[in-house]
Structure 1
């Protein structure tokens, strides 16, 4: 479910679970491990790509609804481990968003250094509220740090999904390009960054991203047990099952 290729010192990891790259442990664990392996293999930059219609549609809700509590906790834990691996990667990471990026897809993108999105009717955002879930504090921090506190509040409380042009205007993504050139532009940004003196660039990056790493490594800010408790609330289950019913039509 991953396609991995190298372009000089830049590695590209492409999500390949049709039709929408829905996230679940058999995809997330290899992604987590591939992100960690890239710098160990001597890579200096990393692109995480997905498409053509969805970078990732987020967590695989139909799958998650089949799990008991212990397995559900494990599944969410693997997701957050993957986000952490991206956030704390010692090399810069670019998200190549050749399609929609709701919920978990948006979270992974926010963990990256830079986001290149396809221009067009594609949407991105933390829409958890619309599917009956509250956004944990650690994830809220990811959005606040890129669009500002007030705008992040308005977007998350509404569960808003922004089309690409609006996402660029508010700073949620950094660049738009043709859908066929998203990964190419992601590599180009990395090549330009890597042309700078490497050690001071990486050290400055590490310091600048310390808050990002902290938001994802502090158990109290993710509060996974409470998140899973809320998953089993009657109102949340009703919304999730209604979502699955719509997906089956």
Structure 2
């Protein structure tokens, strides 16, 4: 489950509850619905902060649901999550993930789909578990990691060593933006960053277009092929 609230010009999306926030079609659709509400209600100079409750930011896809639903339904879940990643990459406002618990597999991909990732240092890891459980990556997972994690050594550690990376190391490896001492400090830092960004009063569609232009390979894989450019105002 997730909730959406607006604090001034900051939208706050929260994955609620003490569970692992496993990404099944129900939760993915709820997040998509919340993002589309933000898109509809956003004005110039707004931002989104995504956070969670409990020990987990998200522990990835709901594998128990997928096993019960069958391969075809599981494949549709992966495709539906691609829509969520595409929504964030094309979102017309700055986005910040406040990762205050474990972010594994698709849960890390969800965080990485935001513009900024802030993480709690005293609890929680980044972990791409696919190698350990015998699954391959969806093509858009790898495209996102290539686009957002510049160091091939860092990508190797995450993808080919299935390393569980804590916040301070993730900062050093260039995978996240900052590490903070508690859940409260992580969320507070995310809100402060959001306030700084909305103070610039950027045009959201221009922001989204520049973001998409920054990640051409990812946008091609996601089907975001709109190459429209904002008109010059010289």
TM class by shorter chain equals 0.7 to 0.9
Which has the larger helix fraction? 1
Could you say what the CA RMSD is over the residues aligned between the two structures, in angstroms?
A: 2.2
Aligned to 1:181: 185
CA gap 1:87/1:204 in 2 versus in 1, 3 angstroms: closer
CA 197–12 in structure 1, closer or farther in 2 if over 3 Å, else same: closer
Using the TM superposition, give the Cα deviation of residue 210 of structure 1 relative to its aligned residue in structure 2, in angstroms.
Answer: 2.9
Give the aligned length. Answer: 219
Q: 1:33 to 1:214 in 2, by over 3 A?
A: farther
Q: TM-score, normalised by structure 1?
A: 0.80
Deviation, 1:100, is: 0.5
| 1:38 corresponds to | 38
Q: CA deviation at 1:156?
A: 0.7
With 4-13 and 143-152 compared, the bigger mean Cα shift is at 143-152
Q: 1:47–1:62: structure 2 CA closer, same or farther, 3 Å change rule? A: same
**2: CA distance, partners of 1:187 / 1:219:** 29
User: What is the TM-score when the length of structure 2 is the normalising length?
Assistant: 0.85
Question: Greater relative contact order: 1 or 2 (C-alpha under 8 angstroms, separation 6 or more)?
Answer: 2
2:94 & 2:216 partners in 1: Cα distance? 14
Are positions 1:128 and 2:133 aligned together? no
In the alignment, which of 218, 221, 227 is matched to residue 218 of structure 1?
Answer: 221
Aligned to 1:153: 156
Residue 172 of structure 1 aligns to a residue in which SS?
coil
Q: 1:239 maps to which residue?
A: none
Please tell me whether the aligned partners of residues 94 and 190 of structure 1 are also in contact (alpha carbons under 8 angstroms).
yes
For 1:56-75, list aligned pairs within 5 A.
Answer: 56-75=58-77
* Cα distance in 2, alignment partners of residues 22 and 136 from structure 1: 17
Q: Unaligned stretches of 5+ in structure 2?
A: 224-234
Stretches of structure 1 lacking an aligned partner (at least 5 in a row): 221-249
